Amino acid sequence: MDFPLLSTVLLAPLAAALAICLLPRESRDQIRMIAAGTMTLATVLTLYAYAAYDTVEGGMQFTEEVPWITDLGVTYALGVDGISLPMLLLTDVIGLASVFSSWNIEKRTKDFFVLLMVLIAGVTGTFIARDLFIFLLCYEVVVIPIYIMVLIWGSTKRVPKEYAGIKLTIFLLMGSAFMLVGVVSLYIAAGGDSFGMEALAAAGQSGVLDENFQIFAFLLLLLGFGSLLSMFPFHSWSPDGYAGAPSAVSMIHAGVLKKIGGYGLIRLGLLVLPLGAKFWAPLIAALAMVNVLYAAYIAMVQKDLKYIIGYSSVSHMGYVLLGFAALNAVSITGAIANMVAHGIMASLFFSQIGYIYERTHLRSVPELAGLAHHLPRLTVGFMLAGLASVGLPGLIEFVPEFTIFVGTLSVYPVCAFLAIAGIIFTALYILRMLAKVLFGPRVERFAGVPDEQGADLVPLLLLGVFLVGFGLFPELLMGVIRSGVTPLEPLLAQLSAAPAMLGGGF
Amino acid sequence: MDFMAVQTEILILLLLLSTLVTDLAMAKGASRRPVAYLTAAGLAAILAHTCGLYHEGASPVFYMGLFLADNYALFFKQLFLLGMVFTVLFSLDYVERCLPHPGEFYSLLLSALLGMCVMASANDFLTAFTGLELMTVSFYILVGFRLSSADSGEAAVKYLIVGAGSTAVMLYGISLVYGAGGSLDFAAVSRNVHLFTAVGLAGVVLVMAGFLFKLSAIPFHMWAPDVYQGAPTPVTALLAMASKAAGIAVFMRVIFTAFPYLGEFMLPLLKTIAALSMIGGNLLAIRQTDVKRMLAYSSIAQAGYMMAGIVAADYFGMKAAMFYAMLYVFANIGAFAVLSVVDAERGGTSRRHVTGLSQAAPMLAAVMTISLLSMAGIPPTAGFAGKIYIFTATVERGNLWLAVIGFVMSMISVYYYLQVTKAMYRDLEPGEETLAEPLPVPSVARAAALVSAAATLAIGICPESLAVLTNFASQTFMQ
Amino acid sequence: MFDFALTHAWLIPLLPALAFLIIGLGTRRDKDASAKIAITFSGLSFLLALGVLGAVITRPIVMADPFVMKTLWAKVGDIELSMGVLVDPLTAMMLFVVTTVALLVQIYSVGYMAHDPGAGRFFAFLSLFAASMLGLVLSVNFMQMYAFWELVGLCSYLLIGFYYYKDSAREAAKKAFITTRIGDFGMLLGILLVQLTFGTMDFVELKTLLPTYIWETGGGILTIIALLLFIGPIGKSGQFPLHVWLPDAMEGPTPVSALIHAATMVVAGVYLVGRAYFLFSALPVVLEVIAWVGGFTAFFAATIAVTQRPFKRILAYSTISQLGYMMLALGVGSLTASMFHLMTHAFFKALLFLCAGAVIEAMHEEADIFKMGGLRERMPVTFRCMAIGVLAIAGVPPLAGFFSKDAILAAAAEVSLPLYLLATATAFLTAFYMARLLFVAFFGEVKPDCPAQETNAWMRWPLVILAALSVVSGAWGHFAGFGEWIFYGPVGEEHIDWLIAGTSVALTAVAFYLAYEIYVMKRWSAYEISRRLGVLYRLSYNKYYVDEFYTVIRNTFVDKLGAVLYWFDLHVVDGVVNGLARFTGGLSGVLGLAENGQVQRYVAVFYCGVIALTAYSLLIAAMLLAVVGGAF
Amino acid sequence: MMDPFSLTFMDVFRFATHIGLAHFLLLAAVLFAIGLFGLLTRRGLIPALMCVELMLNAVNLNLVAFNRYLPMPDLSGQLMALFSIAVGAAEVAVGVALAFRVYRDRATVNLDDLDHLKG
């Protein structure tokens, strides 16, 4: 390892945060430029890593290892494989887009970008960590900046932003409390000498951790990752939180942070506690099905754009959960791909909603109409995101969704059937929203609203490129993910051979 | 009679005397800043001196094993010294403005410190008791030191009444243990089989009650909120970190040297108390609007966490508790440094008083947030590493439920810590604009706050250094 | 040259896609340039399609041995999702039809959209549609077909909603998308089951795997798969009960109606069944379902068309009806007849719609046929083309419709008498309402303020070409051996059953006569007749209240249920969360009550703790005593 | 340990006439309890301090009695009692000083009235 690429990607935002700290409050332009420059650098490096990743060889690449806390067995170990690399890419792309989405923030600009950079660094860390301690550390680092950002730059709609912020924070932290217990007991049970994910996974798969323990520990992890992934009934923080948060936070939160839940379930739940995963999978599948339909139904009666997308993302996370629960190579590939797809799509949505809100201070569907007349670019952004979330081919969501369906239908026929029915409801609420907001007669009130240009256009272009690019050439995404999932196949085969315990066949 | 064993105490005593003399020598009404600088410089020098006292092998003992200057004691003494130095520094301005007779204030701080150091080194009940009382009586006065505030007097009286009651209980316990164990020496007591009789066991629990009072563990916590709230802010800081740490120091030594064979008997008790403290402290803190009072409840919960480390009853747990005690010092310094400045400038420590601090003094707000997050155990602050140490030790001994309570309650605690953060960071409402005006922050206090926050982050990111120290200290003790 | 076309068949969808990109990213604002680009690329695509047709004929490529090229699109697990081209006579015919109609419609649109500021966007969408439809036609597997199936649905959505500022257009677009989505849901399930059952979605592979599978395991699951797959065509091809979107889709610009909602996209469902006919034909139950759905839809839609007034809506119901015919043909086992009718229908229905466009444009967006009249004189070319279209669809020999419809009737007669009767009745109704349309709009007096003028050349020439195709395609297909070219199973005998043909021609004549008497000679009052028919008339006029039924369903099962669930979310799920928070806060308050400031209370609590501890220690001591014995 | 039900009159008599360790312990316990009772019930600050003093003296009695009656190696119990007396004195001194201070602030030394800090 010559150049510490991942460390650079991880630490660059922190360095930027520090640099911004040292600037005077008034130099807003420099602050923005630093943030944008740093994120561009990180994105370019990540893209390089994505391109240079050897999918044939697979496994952890770009690894870095420095012993850190020896008496706990913590190592500063970074690395990416086919599962984490797409997530890393997602993080940096959305991070970059969110910087531009926040371009026009004039209120306490300095504080905002410091927090945003810390947030991005935290999320980045969770995906590239190969050590559980670092994973947890980075994850929890993220929560507090979000709270402060909601508090200062958030907006009060259905619920006060203070409520939304604290709900989100406490919910996630409560989840992480269970997760911490799970992780600590895991660490002890595996011998208490290493937090390294590979070491723990080896312990889990070789039978050092007995089945009862795995079942128990997985439940704890599920509580943590499940609430992060807004699994029913732990989802209620998510729409409120997104509605309260400034758009950059919504973007990162819906786009990336939520995915830590799915990523963690695979990285820890499946790899370290395979028997636990096997035990709880049917329950997860049932809840996933509820997620898909329940949230879609609720999204249908929402008025606030952010609530619609909030519930929509709860609904989409149901597919991810379902993919996970089916525990086969295809469905898990689909789950990972779906996380990427939803990340790009949801953050595009939030950036566009953010733009509307910034310019009109309106977010309620009944109050908006006919924006297509005045804001054609925004319309394109909205349509792209909307159509992607409907699952149209040529856009990013199609192949992942299809993959999940293929992977799950044979395992959980009923759940999958109902979840697939979700595509109808998704179409229903998305199209209703698009129709109402974008189309219809010209409304003179919006005549003076300028269309997106300059920095405002960047999120649309950036996310749009990935939305369409991965849609038209899914192998760019699926190839990398496949190299990450292929090593799991023996484990998954072993699992599927074992009988289901919690009443299979939902 | 190895006087080298008591060199730290002797130095502190000398410093104490010199502050008294200096104070007397100075003109009436003159600023007592020189005394403060003398105190701080002297303490810093002693702290530097103690760094050289860590040793391998046998520890120096003073007078028939009454007083043991081992690495364990040394660690805690450094902890007290550290807390004291920072407190003196960040409260310079506060003391000058809010307290009468600042010279005597420093002398009393030093006598409390002396008491703590004696406690840390105590190797029999007599020494422990003496140290404890030296500290406690000094604190009675310190708590009531803010003559301008009636609350301060009330707090002192309450502390005195409850504290005297607890002293009586502890003494009664000591007398029973003495009767059963036939000695006041820890090691001698531990060897006496009569400790397992009704008298012996009753004595043991009464002694423990006395120490638990110092730790303000539930149900011996009732005094803490009132006293913390009423006391002058620097004194509150010391109560929270140093007094508590001294309690922990002597408590652990008593448990592990005097009653080492009583594990089966005591552990369920201690676990219950730890759990109660974690739950009760955090729950009670939720409704508080005064930050100092909230920190009092929070300190009850912190005592619970440290006890959770102690009940692991092994080297790891002890190390974890020591680690936690140390990082708690830094967290407290940060929080109270900010509070002292706010208290001095705005005349109070309620949430109302810290409102808008992120604009009035962004650095202080950041330090406050970091310190509170460290108490809550959110990374990358030291508290996270501390909690991981404590609860890995706890889980390792099979007490998973304690870890569940600990983690869940610490997340609940984030709620009330964030209420403070919220007050500092939220948008100001109309009519509150004055709160955004820059707050004059004394440079020494600023430096102290910054250093503590930096230390909190440094320990959080790189816990190894401190862990090595605690390892070393606890190992020699366990031999 | 033909080989070049064949090996570059993938360019056929790609060229219009390219046009979409160029227009979308570049020339969107420049109407003329956009039109030129769209037409150029469509033209190239048309030429390639002709080349492919040539290759299929000359090589020859037969149904049993298609030409296949494919490339890996994405690989998940061990499932390979590929994209590619499959060329056989069926494909070639479809390519020809689609590219021809698309090209003509685009030319027509130059005239039609001349004054619309959004013309650039229009051409972009049309190109995208052509690309998607051609991709669908060339599909090598179910996944590809589903992908393009969705894309044509998208284009349809975009084009129906082209006049996005009109509420009705916006609603119609939404309705179209969602209704077809319901069908897609079934189809997606079917496709997934195909993949799970056979481990492949490739048409060629499936075709070889299927017989063994049926032989080994029977048809149980296959029947389910096929029925699920068929839900897709029900949605897309406007079969009952998912036909409701198609009449509303006429909100789009008329060229769109011609291209998408008459000639090409709506037949995608028929094409899918045709493409997967190896599967459907192996399952008699499914075939029966298809036949009855088709037959019923054909008749049902025809009865509605009889009473409608808007020009395009009549044509829309006519389309539904004709699609029903095609399904019927498939259901009774004649791929040939179905595809034949598909082709002829594409030409004459496109013709009819383009005529409709011309008329409506000339009438300044007036759509009600009873407000027209005498257009024959004002728009002679349009009238002649329209007449040809009407005669063709009515099945008057020797126009195209005669041959294809006759083939269907003959096939139906072979299988089932009720179906045959249903189809014949439909034929009668078709002739009647088409005649009604023609007579009401084009005959009679010219209304006083009628603004109609003959259309411009851009619009006229495509009409003429389509009219010519409507005349010759039937005879050409019949005599050139369509049935030996596109078929499944044994080669069908190409002959005309004179009894059946005679019956239908006679019925057509009667229908024309009746219409003439009612609407031109006014011998009987149309109003009187409708009044006499009473309920039947109202049912037909109100489209059997299917829309209203769906509205009720949607209101109760979607919106109301959504509201209920939202309530549940707010008050139960969130209620628990908030309740827990409130409980914790409340607990804090209650516990805080102990802290009342009274120091003696504090001391008391302290001593309670001490007493509890002491009691515990004494208990332990007693237990120790009991175990060990001895005394202090 | 004696079984209370098998106590004879002689046992009671012996206990009443032969003063030993048990008597001192009992006395100390009673004194302690009295002090505690006073601490909990007396409303004045000064009486409360006196009660604390009583409790401390009970402990001293204990220590001295143990040292006298049990075979102890040294005089540490008595030593402890001396320390305890000193500490008690210090506490009372501080206590009285605080009483003055509180009286100056609040014009009362009634413990019930010192309830500004609560909640």
In total, chain D counts a number of residues equal to: 119
D67 vs D79: CA distance, rounded Å? 10
Top residue of C591, C613, C614 to mutate, by most chain B CBs within 10 Å, is C613
Per-residue model confidence as pLDDT tens digits over C548-575: 888 888 888 888 888 888 899 888 888 8
Segment 531-560 of chain C within 8 Å of chain A by CB = 558-559
Bridge partners (DSSP) of residue A67 are A75
Per-residue model confidence as pLDDT tens digits over C336-375: 888 888 888 888 888 888 888 888 888 777 778 787 777 7
Q: What is the pLDDT of residue B16?
A: 95
- The token pair at A41 is 């650098």
Size of the C and D interface in Cβ pairs below 8 Å = 30
- The token pair at B464 is 């190894």
Whether residue D1 has pLDDT greater than 50: no
- The token pair at C373 is 């009249």
Look up tokens 């590219």; give the residue: C99
For helices B71-90 and B315-346, the axis angle rounded to 10 degrees is: 10
Query: Is the sign of the CA dihedral A226, A231, A237, A240 positive or negative?
Result: positive
Bridge partners (DSSP) of residue A80 are A61
Residue A436: which pLDDT band, with cuts at 50, 70 and 90? confident
If you average pLDDT over residues C313-328, what whole number do you get?
A: 89
Residues in chain C whose Cβ is within 8 Å of chain D:
592, 595-600, 603-604, 607, 625, 631-632
Q: If you measure CA to CA, which chain B residue comes closest to A173?
A: B411
Closest residue to B196, CB basis, from C606, C607, C624: C624
Residue B1 buriedness (CB in 10 A; 0-12 / 13-18 / 19+):
exposed
Most confident of the ranges A335-344, A404-413, D11-20: A335-344
Q: What is the pLDDT of residue B299?
A: 94
Contact B194, B178 (CB under 8 A): no
A429 vs A299: CA distance, rounded Å? 7
| Mean pLDDT computed over every residue of chain A | 89
- The token pair at B114 is 């002396």
Per-residue model confidence as pLDDT tens digits over C55-113: 888 888 888 888 888 888 888 878 888 889 888 888 888 889 899 988 988 888 888 88
Per-residue model confidence as pLDDT tens digits over C117-146: 888 888 888 899 989 999 999 999 999 999
Q: What is the pLDDT of residue B478?
A: 60
- Give the number of domains in chain D: 1
- Give the number of domains in chain B: 1
Contact A125, A77 (CB under 8 A): no
All residues of chain A having their beta carbon less than 8 Å from the beta carbon of residue C161 are: 435, 439
Q: If you measure CA to CA, which chain B residue comes closest to A172?
A: B411
Residue B104 resides in a domain: no
Nearest partner of A470 among A457, A483, A479, A460, judged by Cα: A479
Enumerate residues 6+ apart whose C-beta is below 8 A from B269: B205, B208, C613, C616
Q: What is the pLDDT of residue A211?
A: 86
List Cα–Cα distances, C268 to A322, A361, C585, in angstroms. 32, 44, 62
With a cut of 50, which residues of chain B have pLDDT below it?
none
| Whole-number CA gyration radius for chain B | 21
Residue C620: half-sphere exposure toward Cβ, Cα within 13 Å: 24
Residue D5 resides in a domain: no
A137 vs A358: CA distance, rounded Å? 34
Residue D99 resides in a domain: yes
Q: What is the pLDDT of residue C492?
A: 60
Whether residue D119 has pLDDT greater than 80: no
Look up tokens 């496994």; give the residue: A59
Q: What is the pLDDT of residue A505?
A: 44
Q: What is the pLDDT of residue C209?
A: 87
Residue B47 resides in a domain: no
Q: What is the pLDDT of residue C625?
A: 80
If you average pLDDT over residues C452-458, what whole number do you get?
A: 75
Whether residue C190 has pLDDT greater than 60: yes
Per-residue model confidence as pLDDT tens digits over A445-473: 888 888 888 888 899 999 999 999 999 99
Q: Give SS3 for A191.
A: coil
Residue D25 resides in a domain: yes
Q: What is the pLDDT of residue A487?
A: 87
* Nearest CA distance, B106 vs chain C (angstrom): 28
A353 vs A338: CA distance, rounded Å? 22
Per-residue model confidence as pLDDT tens digits over A152-171: 898 888 888 888 888 888 88
Question: Are the Cβ atoms of D59 and B225 closer than 8 angstroms?
Answer: no
Q: Give SS3 for A94.
A: helix
Contact A312, A389 (CB under 8 A): yes
Question: Are the Cβ atoms of C621 and B198 closer than 8 angstroms?
Answer: yes
Enumerate residues 6+ apart whose C-beta is below 8 A from B227: B143, B155, B156, B158, B159, B239, B296
The residue type found at A112 is F
Provide the percentage of residues in chain A whose pLDDT is more than 90: 37
The domain segmentation of chain A, as residue ranges, is 5-497
Q: Give SS3 for D44.
A: strand
Bridge partners (DSSP) of residue D110 are D44
Per-residue model confidence as pLDDT tens digits over C258-315: 888 877 888 888 899 888 888 888 888 888 899 999 999 999 988 888 888 888 888 8
If you average pLDDT over residues A182-198, what whole number do you get?
A: 88
Q: What is the pLDDT of residue A504?
A: 45
* Nearest CA distance, A502 vs chain C (angstrom): 24
Angle CA(A273)–CA(A277)–CA(A281) in degrees, nearest 5? 175
C17 vs B473: CA distance, rounded Å? 74
Domain that holds residue D106: 12-113
Q: What is the pLDDT of residue C261?
A: 81
Where helices occur in C481-597 by DSSP H, the ranges are 482-485, 498-515, 526-533, 535-541, 546-553, 561-568, 574-593
| N- to C-terminal Cα separation, chain C | 115
Contact A494, A204 (CB under 8 A): no
Q: What is the pLDDT of residue B479?
A: 52
If you average pLDDT over residues C503-509, what whole number do you get?
A: 87
Tally of CB atoms within 10 A around C545: 12
Domain that holds residue B424: 277-479
Per-residue model confidence as pLDDT tens digits over A242-279: 888 898 999 999 989 999 999 999 998 888 998 889 89
Q: What is the pLDDT of residue C629?
A: 60
List Cα–Cα distances, C82 to A402, C13, C140, C271, in angstroms. 13, 16, 8, 20
Look up tokens 């039109």; give the residue: C35
Question: Are the Cβ atoms of A71 and B404 closer than 8 angstroms?
Answer: no
| Complex ipTM value | 0.89
Bridge partners (DSSP) of residue B68 are B61
* Nearest CA distance, B7 vs chain C (angstrom): 37
Nearest partner of A407 among A287, A497, A321, judged by Cα: A321
Residue D97 resides in a domain: yes
CATH (domain of D26): 1.10.287.3510
If you average pLDDT over residues D88-98, what whole number do you get?
A: 92
Q: What is the pLDDT of residue A506?
A: 47
Size of the B and C interface in Cβ pairs below 8 Å = 102
Whether residue A503 has pLDDT greater than 50: no
**DSSP character at residue A197:** H
The residue type found at C570 is L
Contact yes or no, D with A (3+ CB pairs under 8 Å): no
Closest residue to A294, CB basis, from C195, C565, C576: C565
Where helices occur in B231-381 by DSSP H, the ranges are 233-238, 244-253, 263-285, 291-310, 315-346, 351-354, 357-360, 362-376
In terms of phi and psi (left: phi > 0; alpha: psi -120 to 50; beta: otherwise), the region of B429 is beta
Q: What is the pLDDT of residue C495?
A: 66
If you average pLDDT over residues A115-126, what whole number do you get?
A: 93
Closest residue to A392, CB basis, from C154, C565, C574: C154
Residue D70 resides in a domain: yes
A310 vs A237: CA distance, rounded Å? 10
Top residue of B407, B408, B412 to mutate, by most chain A CBs within 10 Å, is B407
